[in-house]
Each structure stands twice: as structure tokens, then as C-alpha cells.
Structure 1
Amino acid sequence: MQDTLKSSPAENKAMKHASFVGVSTTTVFYLLCGCVGYAAFREHAPGDLLSGSGFDHPVWLLNVANVCMAIHLIGAYQVFAQPIFSLVESSCRQRWPEVKFVTMDHQITIPFLGGTSFQVNWFRVVWRSAYVAVTTVFATVLPFFNVLLALIGAASFWPLTVYFPIEMYIARAKVLKFSFSWMCLQALSLVCLLVSLVAAAGSVAGLIQSLKTYRPFKNEV
């Protein structure tokens, strides 16, 4: 029976397919939102195309959109926060190896679950809880969610999405300098750099405009 089963594809092929599907889906949705929003509202397009444009019916559609946004942000928060957690915790263990509060794990048994237990490190609990609390307060104080998100996206788009992947591909594929492929890749990198600079300039202008009517703990899109 095992001989008749199709073997699983190699990990690099599976990840390449998953990355292609994920990036393609994200690109299609982002382009649709950007093009439809600009076609409908021009430069006055709201950051939230659904609720920001006065669209409030059907309510279930807005609720589904909010749930999807919450799932997206929770996942993104974990992706960006876990490396910070790991860096701080490993650094503290190396610096204070004799402090039990930092290094020791405590076993806690959950009652009424048949003796089920799990390991708890109190430093990890305190540090991660404090980090989440501080970032939450900081996020609620700043009302310009869309403007800051655009600025961060513009600043990280070219180096992380374009420049480093292109340079790694050139180095791995040993693309000859000043060859046709090399020139095309460098032209793509330059165009994306210009797009990032224009987007960053627009985000800074929007941030300055938002600061004129800034009120803490009030969301302004």
C-alpha cells in the first residue's frame, strides 16, 4: 500500500509553491483595493474602504472584514514579536545565568484535567506581558494607523522585498555583471526604490497633516 502512495514533494518545492500562492493572492487583493479605491474616491480614498466610505450595510460583511483583519494582525504580531522575545530572553539567560527568576522553569499542574501540567518561566511571563501592554498602549495613543502602516511598509518594501532577494539571487545564480539579466534585475530594483521613496514621501506628508488635528486615543484614518 505504501508503494502505491504518491510521495510528498520536496520541502523547497512545497515552500516555493506556498510562497507563490501567498504572494500572488496578496498582490491581487492589494492591487484591487488600491485601484478600486482610487477609481472611486481619487486622492480622498479612505484608509478603510468599507466603513470609511459610509458603507455600513450589510453589517455581517463588516463584521467578517473586521474578523479577517484581527486574524491577520494577530498572526503578523506573532511573526514580528517572537524574534524579539527570543533575543531578549536568550540575552538575559547569558547575562544572568545564576538568577533563577530568569532561567528556572516551574511546573504548574492544571486542576481537574487529570494531572496535566506545563512549564512556566516567570521572567518570560512578566517580560512578554509587559511588552504586549506597552505596545498596546503605544498603538492606542497614536491615531494614525494607516499613515504609519504606509510609512513602515514603504521603508521596508524595497530593502526586504526587492533589494536583498535580488542580490541573493544574483550571487547564487552567478549572474554576470552588466549582462542583460543583471541589467534587468538592477532596473527592477531601481524602479521599486523610486516607488518606495514616493510612497514614503506621501506617508510623511499624511503624517504631518494628521498631526495638525492630533488627539490621543482617537483613531483617525
Structure 2
Amino acid sequence: MVTKAPEASPQDTADRPETPLEAELRRLAGSVPDPELPVLTLEELGVLRAVHCLNPGSVEVELTPTYTGCPAVEAMSTDIERVLHERGIPDVTVRRVLAPAWTTDDITDEGRRKLREFGIAPPRAVREDQGPVTVALGPTRTAADAAAATLLGAPEAGDAPLRCPHCGSTDTELLSRFSSTACKALRRCLDCREPFDHFKEL
């Protein structure tokens, strides 16, 4: 007597090594360009978490949005479904995974290189809170100073300089907290005088 094997669940597949088919499908799904920033793929942006083959012809893709309610997720999901359907996978489910949350540290080195090449300053590394933090005591900052530091991302980005993607100068100024998308700020280099987008740290 032949019985149908039970379908695998995402929990079952998460505990085993990635299969060659899953690796191939992940490459395909990861090659989809981000709809808001098409210079980056979903793999380079770091939002593609995993691809699970649940049973023959059925695939689940785990996708973490850059923030809850990101309007681009629907377009990402549609494009992922399209490329996997073209590969011959009839049943494609894109599941949103909110934990662990996406951060700008998830952007790959290649993604950061492409951002710079495209004229966008990539986000600096976000400091992880692990244990005690050394605090240097000095003159009390004004409320304006504290607000400016928070606005520029200094507490989260540590002391890493923000460089102009055009000339590499660290002498820049903030023009607007928001640019073409909510994840970017508009800045200007005080050396080459060119404006540029900065992918804000998160």
C-alpha cells in the first residue's frame, strides 16, 4: 500500500542542511531587485532569509521587511513568485518573518559597494549592545546637540565616519532627514559640494 508522505513544515526544514534545489531557488529569489532601490538585489539587501522545499512543487520563501508595514513587500513577494514560477515551481508561498528584525547590518559587502558606486552613502555598522558601555564624561550637551547626534545616527553608528560616496570626504552636512524613500536621508558634501543620499542606520 502506497501512502502519501506528510508534507514537510518550515520547522522541519529549518533543522536540516540546505539542499541543492533550495540553494538554486534561493539564488533565483535573491536575484530579484529591490523595487525601491533596484541597484540592490534582495539577497544583497539582506531581506531574503530562507527558501524551503516543503514537498515536490511546493516552496516557502521567508522574507523579512526592512520595517513593519514596508510597502515594497508586496512587490517583492510578487517578483519572487514570478521567478520561481518561471523555474517550474507551481506552488510558491512568501512568508513574512519579523523576528529577528532586519537591520542595516544585514546589507552585504557587495550591496554596500553597489550603493557607493550608485552615489549613495551606505549605512555604517550598528553597534550591538553587549554588556557595559564605556561613557566618556565631558561638558553637558545641549538639547539641540543631543537631538542632532540622534538625528545623525551617532549613538547607533559609533564613531565611524560618514563618507561622501563621490569624493570620500567625511566633511558632510545633513540637508533633510528624508530623501526619495524613508530609509534614506539627504546630505551634502562640504568638499566637493555634491548632494547625496545616505542609507540611514537601523
Task: Provide TM-score, normalisation by structure 1.
Answer: 0.20
Query: Which structure: greater strand fraction?
Result: 2
Structure 2 length-normalised TM: 0.21
Higher helix share: 1
Taking CA–CA contacts closer than 8 Å with sequence separation of 6 or more, which of the two structures ends up with the larger relative contact order? Answer: 1
